[in-house]
Amino acid sequence: MTFALSRWCRVLPLLLFPGGTMQFMLLFSRQGKLRLQKWYVPLSDKEKKKITRELVQTVLARKPKMCSFLEWRDLKIVYKRYASLYFCCAIEDQDNELITLEIIHRYVELLDKYFGSVCELDIIFNFEKAYFILDEFLLGGEVQETSKKNVLKAIEQADLLQEEAETPRSVLEEIGLT
Amino acid sequence: MALKMVKGSIDRMFDKNLQDLVRGIRNHKEDEAKYISQCIDEIKQELKQDNIAVKANAVCKLTYLQMLGYDISWAAFNIIEVMSASKFTFKRIGYLAASQCFHEGTDVIMLTTNQIRKDLSSPNQYDTGVALTGLSCFVTPDLARDLANDIMTLMSHTKPYIRKKAVLIMYKVFLKYPESLRPAFPRLKEKLEDPDPGVQSAAVNVICELARRNPKNYLSLAPLFFKLMTSSTNNWVLIKIIKLFGALTPLEPRLGKKLIEPLTNLIHSTSAMSLLYECVNTVIAVLISLSSGMPNHSASIQLCVQKLRILIEDSDQNLKYLGLLAMSKILKTHPKSVQSHKDLILQCLDDKDESIRLRALDLLYGMVSKKNLMEIVKKLMIHVDKAEGTTYRDELLTKIIDICSQSNYQYITNFEWYISILVELTRLEGTRHGHLIAAQMLDVAIRVKAIRKFAVSQMAMLLDNAHLIASNTQRNGICEVLYAAAWICGEFSEHLEEANQTLEAMLRPKVTTLPGHIQAVYVQNMVKLYASILQQKEQAGEKEAAQEITQLMIERLPQFVQSADLEVQERASCILQLIKYIQKLQIKEVPVAEEVIALFAGELNPVAPKAQKKVPVPEGLDLDAWINEPPSDSESEEEKPKTIFHDEEQRHSRHRQPEIDEEELARRREARKQEQANNPFYIKSSPSPQKRYQDTPGVEHIPVVQIDLSVPLKVPGMPMSDQYVKLEEERRHKQKLEKDKKKKKQKKEKRGKHHRHNSLHTESEEDIAPAHHVDIITEEMPENALPSDEDDKDPNDPYKALDIDLDKPLADSEKLPVQRHRNVETPKSPDAEAPLEEKKSKKPKKKEKKHKEKERDKGKKKEKEKKMVEEEEEKKKSSKHKKKKHKKEKEEKSKDKKKSKKKSRQSEEEPAGSVQNGTLDDEPLPPMSSYRLLAENPYIKMTYDIQGNLQHDSQVTVSVIFENKSTSFLKSMELNVLDSLNTKMLRPEGSSVHDGIPVPFQLPPGISNEAQFVFTLQSIVMAQKLKGTLSFIVKNDEGSTHEKVDFKLHFSCASYLITTPCYSDAFAKLLESGDLHMSSIKVDGISISFQHLLAKICFHHHFSVVERVDSCASMYSRSIQGHHVCLLVKKGENSVSIDGKCSDSTLLSNLLDEMKETLSKC
pLDDT in tens, B371-385: 888 888 988 888 888
Judging by DSSP bridges, how do beta strands B940-948 and B955-964 pair with one another? antiparallel
- Between strands B1077-1083 and B1039-1051, the pairing is unpaired
* Closest CA in chain A for residue B276: A98
The CA-CA-CA angle for residues B964, B965, B967, to 5°, reads: 90
- CA dist B59 to B34, B81, B218, B421, B647, Å? 20, 10, 44, 66, 62
CA distance B762 to B863: 67
Query: Are A8 and B677 in contact (CB < 8 Å)?
Result: no
pLDDT band (50, 70, 90) for residue B710: very low
Candidates B534, B572, B538, B571; CA nearest to B555 is: B572
Contacts of A4 in chain B (CB under 8 A): 1112
Residue A161 DSSP SS3: helix
Q: Which of A100, A55, A172, A157 is nearest to B124 (CA)?
A: A157
More confident residue, B668 or B1015: B1015
Burial of B808 by CB count in 10 Å (0-12 exposed, 13-18 middle, 19+ buried)? middle
Is there a contact between A54 and A32 (Cβ–Cβ < 8 Å)?
A: no
- The answer to whether ipTM exceeds 0.85 is yes
Check CB contact under 8 Å for B68 and A34: yes
Express each pLDDT in B34-48 by its tens digit: 999 989 998 998 898
User: How close is the nearest chain A Cα to the Cα of B561, in Å?
Assistant: 47
Q: Which CATH architecture has domain B410-597?
A: Alpha Horseshoe (1.25)
Nearest CA in chain A to B87: A165
Residue A24 pLDDT > 90 = yes
Residue type, B30: E
Distance CA B612, CA B615 (A): 6
* CA closest to A168 among chain B residues: B9
Residues of chain A neighbouring B684 (CB-CB closer than 8 A)? none
pLDDT digit string, tens, across residues B1055-1103:
888 877 777 778 887 887 777 888 888 888 877 888 888 888 888 888 8
DSSP per-residue string spanning B636-658: -PPPPPPPSS--HHHHHHHHHHH
Q: What percent of chain B clears pLDDT 90, i.e. is strictly above it?
A: 15
Chain A interface, mutation test: which of B62, B102, B126, most A Cβ atoms within 10 Å? B126
> Which of A34, A162, A173 is facing B67, going by the closest CB pair?
A34
Answer yes or no: do A162 and B89 touch at CB < 8 A: yes
Over residues B947-963, mean pLDDT: 80
| Contacting residues for A20 by C-beta, under 8 A, at least 6 apart | A40, A140, A141, A142, B171, B172, B205, B209
* Residues of chain B with C-beta less than 8 angstroms from the C-beta of A40: 136-137
Residue B676 confidence (pLDDT): 59
In this prediction, residue B264 carries a pLDDT of 87
Q: What local confidence, expressed as pLDDT, does residue B260 receive?
A: 85
Q: May I ask the CATH architecture of the domain B932-1051? A: Sandwich (2.60)
Q: What is the dihedral of CA B787, B792, B798, B801, to 10 degrees?
A: -70
Contacts of B550 by beta carbon, 8 Å cutoff, 6+ apart:
B530, B534, B579, B582, B583, B586
Probe site for chain A from B274, B328, B350 (most A CB atoms < 10 A): B274
Query: Which residue pairs, CB below 8 angstroms and at least 24 apart, start in B881-890?
Result: B885/B1007, B887/B824, B887/B825, B887/B913, B888/B825, B888/B913, B888/B914, B888/B915, B890/B915
Residue B1139 scores a pLDDT above 80:
yes
Residue A89 C-alpha from the chain's centroid: 8
Choose among B60, B67, B807: nearest Cβ to A18: B807
B8 CB neighbours in chain A (<8 A) are none
Rounded Cα distance, B264 and B1150, in Å: 68
Q: Which of B54-63, B755-764, B918-927 is predicted with the least confidence, judged by mean pLDDT?
A: B755-764
Report the alpha-carbon distance of residue B360 to residue B396 in Å, rounded. 11
Nearest CA to B962 out of B1002, B999, B1014, B1008 is that of B1008
Q: What is the pLDDT of residues B1019-1037, one digit of tens each?
A: 888 888 888 888 888 888 7
- Chain B interface disruption, residue of A27, A67, A80, A89, most B CBs within 10 A: A67
CB nearest B133 (choices: A8, A124, A135) = A135
Q: Is A132 within 8 Å of B96 when comparing Cβ atoms?
A: yes
- Using the predicted structure, report yes or no on whether residue B785 has a pLDDT greater than 50: yes
What is the distance in angstroms between the Cα of B1104 and the nearest Cα belonging to chain A?
Answer: 15
Note the pLDDT of residue B844.
Answer: 42
Nearest residue of chain A to residue B805 (CA atoms): A18
Q: How far, in whole angstroms, is CA B261 from its chain's centroid?
A: 36
* B231 Cβ contact partners less than 8 Å away, ≥ 6 residues apart: none
Does residue B725 surpass a pLDDT of 80?
no
Chain A hits for B1067, Cβ within 8 Å: 8
Average pLDDT of chain B to the nearest whole number: 76
Q: Does A98 touch chain B (CB under 8 A)?
A: yes
Q: B613 CA to chain A: closest CA distance, Å?
A: 32
Q: Please tell me the distance in Å from A152's CA to the nearest CA on chain B.
A: 13
CA distance A61 to chain B (A): 12
Q: Which residues contact B922 (CB under 8 A, 6 or more apart)?
A: B795, B800, B801
Q: Which helix (H) or strand (E) holds B200?
A: helix B197-213
Q: Which of A9, A17, A124 is facing B22, going by the closest CB pair?
A: A124
**Residue of A98, A104, A149 to mutate, testing the B interface (most B Cβ within 10 Å of its Cβ):** A98
pLDDT of residue A132: 93
Q: Cβ contact (<8 Å) for B136 and A150? A: no
Which element (helix H / strand E) includes B1036? Answer: strand B1024-1036
Among chain A residues, CA nearest to B2: A172
The answer to whether residue B93 scores a pLDDT higher than 70 is: yes
Mean pLDDT of all residues in A114-123: 90
* Mean pLDDT score, B71-83: 90
Residue B748 predicted with pLDDT over 80: no
Give chain A positions within 8 Å (CB) of B124. Answer: 161
Q: What DSSP state is assigned to residue A12?
A: P
User: Is the minimum CB–CB distance between A167 and chain B shorter than 8 Å?
Assistant: no
- Taking each helix axis from N to C end, the angle separating B390-409 and B415-425, rounded to the nearest 10 degrees, works out to 160
Question: Cβ–Cβ of A144/B168 closer than 8 Å?
Answer: yes
Whole-number Å distance between alpha carbons of B546 and B537: 6
C-alpha distances (whole Å) from B858 to each of B865, B887, B1010 are: 10, 21, 12
Q: Do A34 and B353 touch (CB under 8 A)?
A: no
For residue B851, count other CB atoms closer than 10 A to its CB: 13
Is residue B1006 classed as helix, strand or coil in its secondary structure?
coil
pLDDT given at position B798: 32
Q: Which residues in chain B touch residue A69, judged by CB atoms under 8 angstroms apart?
A: 318, 321-322, 355
Q: What is the 3-state secondary structure (H, E, C) of B60-77?
A: HHHHHHHHCCCCCHHHHH
Find the mean pLDDT for residues B711-715.
40
CA distance B455 to B440: 12
- The answer to pTM > 0.95 is no
How far, in Å, CA of A77 to CA of B644, rounded?
45
* Chain B hits for A17, Cβ within 8 Å: 806
- B315-354 per-position pLDDT tens digit: 888 999 999 999 988 888 888 888 888 888 888 888 888 8
Report yes or no: A13 at the B interface, CB cutoff 8 Å.
no
- Write out residues 31-60 of A within 8 Å (CB-CB) of B: 34-37, 39-40, 42-45, 49-50, 53
Domain ranges of chain B: 1-101, 410-597, 932-1051, 1057-1160
- Whether CATH 3.30.310.10 fits B1057-1160: yes
Comparing CA positions, the residue from B984, B987, B1010 lying closest to residue B999 is B1010
Burial B549-573 (b: 16+ CB within 10 A, else e): bbebbeebbebbbebebebbbebbb
- Confidence check: pLDDT of A4 > 50: no
A2/chain B closest Cα distance in angstroms: 9
pLDDT recorded at residue B957: 84
Question: What is residue B120's predicted lDDT score, i.e. its pLDDT?
Answer: 92
- Closest-CA residue of A relative to B247 is A94
Q: Which of A155, A85, A67, A92 is nearest to B353 (CA)?
A: A67
Which residues of B fall within a CB distance of 8 Å from A45?
71, 73, 101, 103
Nearest CA among B398, B326, B402, B385 for reference residue B359? B326
Which among B92, B277, B807 has CB closest to A96? B277
- One-letter-per-residue 3-state SS of B394-441: HHHHHHHHHHHHHHHHCCCCCHHHHHHHHHHHCCCCCCCCHHHHHHHH
10 Å CB burial of residue B790 (0-12, 13-18, 19+) is exposed
CB B931 within 8 A of CB B830: no
pLDDT of amino acid B782: 61
| Angstrom distance (rounded) from CA B394 to CA A42 | 38
pLDDT at B819 over 90: no
Q: Do A50 and B674 touch (CB under 8 A)?
A: yes
- Do B482 and B470 contact (CB within 8 A), yes or no? yes
From CA B399, how far away is CA B425, in angstroms rounded?
12
Residue A89 CA to residue A76 CA, distance in Å, equals 8
* Integer Cα distance of A152 and A169 in angstroms: 26
Q: How confident is the model at residue B570 (pLDDT cuts 50, 70, 90)?
A: very high
Q: Does A171 touch chain B (CB under 8 A)?
A: no
Residue ranges of domains in chain A, CATH in brackets: 20-166 (3.30.450.60)
pLDDT tens digit sequence for B649-659 = 444 443 444 44
